[in-house]
């Protein structure tokens, strides 16, 4: 009998005063970076109960004023944000500018969609919790690199290009050689392509590799290194290569056949190829 030794719900220090909390729900990672004057919380989890759990966990480590950074607009990374806004009036909440736009325009629709999916899965309590979430768009945005001063430590917010979304934000802690990369990288499960840009994603990761020098914290799963990122970039590049060589307008059965031969796996590969073909069709119309 195997024993699960994953440190769910506990802080793990992966660099000097840089912590990761791996949460059992969706195997999602939240981050905490300590400066001398304030701390940075990276992603806030998927509803306000989970946000309160994370807030208490932050306060178990530090009483410093907090800043929040959201790697992207998907619910499991940002639906707990209002808890941090309530706890500290005027709290800075950072994201890419298109993350702000997506949450403002589509946050309520995403909330309803996720609650419906949870109810269909028989998870009524979680569905009710998502239904009760107050959508909280960021109040600080970036499009090119932005630097946050935490007091004696600077953190860089960086957008390397389109990948998992069109607004993925990487949080770099240069003095600790740690980078939080959100769902641009996933460990323990295939990359998620539902809202992705498969034609661009590998190039985005390859650009990002030039900036990685130590620990890489994915959006989900265990911490990794640059070698893991390079391998995932190669797998995603295969998706783009196959998509470009396929004839347009393949039916689902044909796409499934090709997806079954992809390194990312048949289920993820099918979604990836369909997304890639949609984008190729759009490009052909330009």
Q: What is the mean pLDDT for each group of 10 consecutive residues in the chain (286 residues)?
A: 66 98 96 98 98 98 98 98 97 98 98 97 96 98 97 98 98 98 97 97 98 97 98 98 92 95 97 95 86
Residue 224 β-bridge partners: 216
**Dihedral angle at the C-alpha atoms of 212, 217, 220, 222, nearest 10 degrees?**
110
Residue 35 lies in a domain: yes
- Residue 25 is assigned to a structural domain of this protein: yes
* Distance of alpha carbon 176 from alpha carbon 159, whole angstroms: 19
pLDDT at 2: 42
pLDDT at 128: 97
User: Is residue 45 within 8 Å of 51, Cβ to Cβ?
Assistant: yes
Can you give the pLDDT at residue 285?
85
Residue 49 lies in a domain: yes
Q: What secondary structure does DSSP assign to 44-80, as a single string? A: --SSHHHHHHHHHHHHTT--S-EEEE-S-S-HHHHTT
Q: Could you tell me the pTM of the whole model? A: 0.96
Domain hosting residue 16, numbered range:
11-158
In a domain, 107, yes or no: yes
CATH of the domain at 135: 3.60.15.10
The percent of residues above 90 in pLDDT, for the chain, comes to 94
């Amino acid at each position: 009998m195997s024993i699960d030794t994953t440190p769910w719900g506990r802080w793990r220090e992966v660099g000097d005063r840089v912590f990761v909390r791996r949460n059992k729900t969706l195997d999602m990672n939240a981050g905490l970076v300590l400066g001398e004057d304030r701390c940075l919380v990276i992603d806030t989890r998927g509803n306000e109960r989970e946000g309160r759990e994370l807030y208490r966990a932050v306060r178990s480590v530090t009483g410093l004023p907090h800043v929040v950074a959201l790697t992207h607009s998907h619910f499991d990374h940002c639906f707990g944000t209002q808890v941090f806004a309530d706890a500290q009036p005027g709290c800075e909440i950072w994201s890419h500018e298109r993350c702000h736009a997506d949450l403002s325009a589509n946050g309520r629709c995403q909330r309803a969609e996720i609650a419906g999916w949870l109810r269909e899965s028989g998870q009524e309590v979680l569905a009710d919790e998502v239904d009760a979430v107050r959508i909280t768009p960021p109040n600080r945005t970036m499009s090119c690199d932005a630097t946050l001063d935490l007091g004696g430590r600077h953190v860089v917010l960086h957008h390397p290009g389109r990948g998992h979304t069109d607004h993925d934000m990487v949080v770099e802690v240069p003095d600790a050689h740690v980078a939080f990369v959100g769902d641009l990288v996933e460990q323990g499960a295939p990359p998620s392509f539902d809202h992705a840009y498969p034609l661009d994603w590998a190039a985005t990761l390859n650009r990002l590799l030039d900036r990685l020098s130590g620990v890489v914290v994915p959006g989900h799963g265990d911490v990794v290194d640059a070698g893991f990122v390079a391998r995932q970039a190669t797998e995603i590049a295969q998706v783009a290569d196959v998509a470009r060589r396929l004839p347009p307008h393949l039916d689902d059965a044909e796409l499934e056949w090709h997806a079954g031969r992809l390194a990312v796996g048949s289920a993820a590969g099918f979604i990836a190829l369909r997304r890639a073909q949609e984008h190729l069709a759009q490009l052909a119309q330009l």
